Structure 1
Amino acid sequence: MKELRRAIYFISFPLSFIGFIFPIYASSIGANIIQIGYLYSIFSIISIIIRPIVGNLIDKRGRRTGILIGTVLYTIVNVFFIMAKDFKYLLIGRIIQSLGGSFLWISVDTFISDISDRTNRGKNFGLLNQSIAKGEWIGSFVGFTILFNNLTDNPFKLIFTIFLVTNFISVYYTIKNVPETISLKREYEAGNIKDKKQLKYFLGIIGAISFITSLTAPIYLIYLQENITKDIGLISFLFIPASILALFLPNIFGSFSDKYGREKIVIAGMFINAILQIFIPFNKEYYSFMILYTLISIVVMFYSPAFSSLIIDFVGENKRGRSYGLYSFASGIGGAIGYMAGSYIYENIGNDILFYTKGILLVVMTLFICYLYIKNIRMNRKMEITRIEQ
């Protein structure tokens, strides 16, 4: 686990910075709004196509192979961002980034499940999330320090050169230290899904959740500029409290989910998140929004390790790579549709309406999951009573 976390720490340096600044970077080299939309769309399309293939591949070739391919591709992305002179460099970079992300994160999730069982899976996902958060924190600090202090005439070139170095370090640690875990377990825990029909229902729920959570993703920065502050520097400070908490809370919350039940944690966390989303339009003052965003981030940290762990709990441990590949495929489709729907609602119906819509849909989905959970408990009790009577 320690070996993987070190590799993931270094590969995570650019992630948050790129996610935040990419539209601005693309615009700075001449990309228009339509082209920026293409860059997001191509990322989603490539991910949707490749993820099931990656899942099956790492079940045959190994998790280490997938992690290595992912870290190498992420490293190459920085080269294209350094050389970027126009739209085509960014387009190629985004395609490679999508491929790298699919290989890396499906392989990492599967790796964690290989080394875990029901008693520590949430904790291990929490530790992974902490490593990602630490890398993103340092990378964002470096990136924004260079960007806001005008240390060079071409700050993006310097920033992505530094990220190229840190990603090379990740590739080195992957080759040197990350072990193969594909044959670590000889026995598998059965999941709750018994047939293909149930699997389709499960993937449908995953896709629906991804759709809802991605509604606000493409417009979040725009919303902040229009409603909170136009200063990019002040916007970046809004995320600092949540980023600090992400350095240590995921591990605690992951252990909590292992102890008290992942389903309960997910249901409670999603419901609280839904209510907080509805309150966003009522908090347009800078510091009240910072507090609200921090609370939302804490809640997401609270149930994210449990949610990641539930994938294997439901699908079962056999063919873990394929399970995470299908999960990523479903979430990718839901996310792609969510991006488009969220942009349309924001542009044509209203920015506040978008957050109300997201909150209400999350409430509905949480109640539906709660219903399925209660139904499953009752069914298991009936089966247990029948077994005892026999």
Structure 2
Amino acid sequence: MPQVFKDFAILFKYRNFLELCFAVLVSMLGFGLIIPLLPIYAREMGASGVYLGLLTSLFGMTRSITSIPGGVLADKIGRKKMMVGGLAVYTVVMFLFGVSTHLYHLLILRACQGAASGVVWPVAATAVADIVDPKDRGKAMGFFSMMWDAGIAVGPVLGGLAAAAFSMAAPFFVCSALSLASALLILKRVKETHKKSEEKPTVSLEGLSFHKLSLIGICVTGFTVSFAMGVVHPILPLFGNEVIGLNEASIGIIFGAMGVTRFLVKPISGALADNIGKKRVIVTGLAFNGVFTTLISFSESFTTIMLPSVARAVGLGMTMPSINALVTSMTTKEKRGRVMGIFSTSRNTGLVMGPLLGGFAFDALSVRAPFFICGFVVFMGALVLIATVTEVENENAEIALS
């Protein structure tokens, strides 16, 4: 039997890991429904490129604000309450997206969505790190991220078809229902993974990590990756729609293909990271991302945008599971929520700044400029990672500091 299929046994090796992965799958299926459609939805209400950048930046801004407090609270009161509460907010916000009639409605709701995201996803990744052994952490993060991408792979295709068959609002209502289902699944099936801590909460880097310089370096790299993604992601649907002439269904298929690619790559890259090192896998993924994002700018048809988009997705699939595993290996279980909150804030800061620059570049420079900016920034992130980050052998370090 091929090793990749044997690796699926990890889903059943640790209690609640399968339930957490399935909850993420259900939630991200709903989220994937609206990813490629929100810029077009806003465009129909009269949004400019800069406004679209602001719409995406608000998500990152409020996510940054809630990530660190969310991590501190997760260490203090537990992971489960934070995840269920955040998904309940998601449920309401997605429904209200579907009934919105003005651009300022979208801005308010996007801010609320980002706040909920800052609580839910870093805490969910922390819960996964809580329940798996350090030697399996890269593989586990790969499978956890794979469920994320399974939803994002199928969601855009279904969302594009639903929008074409019914209305642009329909996918938002479906997303609301799926977010509620995910919240109920965690509430009923997932056990708390962390005991309540009596330690006084802190967000200082002192004492949180085995290697402070490495933590700073991985945070800077996370910022550059999110910044680069933020530059391109709100623009890519518009580039396909307005420059190449693709309809909503075709754009949904492209995003779906990217999601399928990440889905297939992540478990393989996670297992590879456990064997050859997380840092090597991250650098390789960043190189793929930078090169093929730049090549997207030369696309002139469905085929020529699909191919580099899929290759870019390979890089994204290699990068994030290993980054998450590397971050969680830099601290102890008792401080993991706070460290993930700090890392998430660095990533979210990139999501604030990137879309603003991408929207401005799309309007003021050229429709292809955001792709060149993305490629350059990703390569800078790779250089920072190489220069500053030392991989941690966490199995022994956790024992020493616990």
Q: TM-score range by the shorter chain?
A: 0.7 to 0.9
Aligned partner (choices 271, 278, 294) of residue 262 of structure 1:
278
Paired AA for residue 292 in structure 1 = P
2:358 aligned partner:
342
Paired AA for residue 175 in structure 2 = F
2:124 aligned partner:
108
Partners of 1:110 and 1:293 lie apart in 2 by 29
Aligned partner (choices 168, 171, 175) of residue 187 of structure 2:
175
Contact (CA 8 Å) 1:9, 1:134: kept in 2 or not?
yes
1:97 aligns with 2:109: no
Paired AA for residue 194 in structure 2 = I
Change (3 A) 1:292 1:180: same
Q: How many residues get paired?
A: 366
Percent sequence identity over aligned pairs: 22
**Unaligned ranges ≥5, structure 2:** 1-16, 198-206, 394-402
1:384 aligned partner:
none
Aligned partner (choices 174, 178, 202) of residue 166 of structure 1:
178
Change (3 A) 1:343 1:87: closer
Using the TM superposition, give the Cα deviation of residue 202 of structure 1 relative to its aligned residue in structure 2, in angstroms: 4.6
Paired AA for residue 175 in structure 1 = L
2:79 aligned partner:
63
1:50 aligns with 2:62: no
Q: TM-score when scaled to structure 2? A: 0.81
Q: TM-score when scaled to structure 1? A: 0.83
Using the TM superposition, give the Cα deviation of residue 40 of structure 1 relative to its aligned residue in structure 2, in angstroms: 3.0
Paired AA for residue 280 in structure 2 = K
Using the TM superposition, give the Cα deviation of residue 201 of structure 1 relative to its aligned residue in structure 2, in angstroms: 5.0
Residues 96-245 of structure 1 mapped to structure 2, 5 A cutoff: 96-150=112-166, 155-183=167-195, 193-195=210-212, 199-200=215-216, 202-245=218-261
Mean Cα deviation higher: 320-329 or 129-138: 129-138
Partners of 1:117 and 1:75 lie apart in 2 by 33
Change (3 A) 1:209 1:10: closer
Paired AA for residue 14 in structure 1 = G
Partners of 1:331 and 1:273 lie apart in 2 by 16
Using the TM superposition, give the Cα deviation of residue 351 of structure 1 relative to its aligned residue in structure 2, in angstroms: 3.4
1:273 aligned partner:
289
Partners of 1:39 and 1:134 lie apart in 2 by 25
Paired AA for residue 147 in structure 1 = A
Paired AA for residue 314 in structure 1 = M
Change (3 A) 1:356 1:78: closer
Using the TM superposition, give the Cα deviation of residue 210 of structure 1 relative to its aligned residue in structure 2, in angstroms: 2.7
Q: Which has the larger radius of gyration?
A: 1
Using the TM superposition, give the Cα deviation of residue 141 of structure 1 relative to its aligned residue in structure 2, in angstroms: 3.8
Partners of 1:161 and 1:225 lie apart in 2 by 24
Contact (CA 8 Å) 1:281, 1:355: kept in 2 or not?
yes
Change (3 A) 1:303 1:78: closer
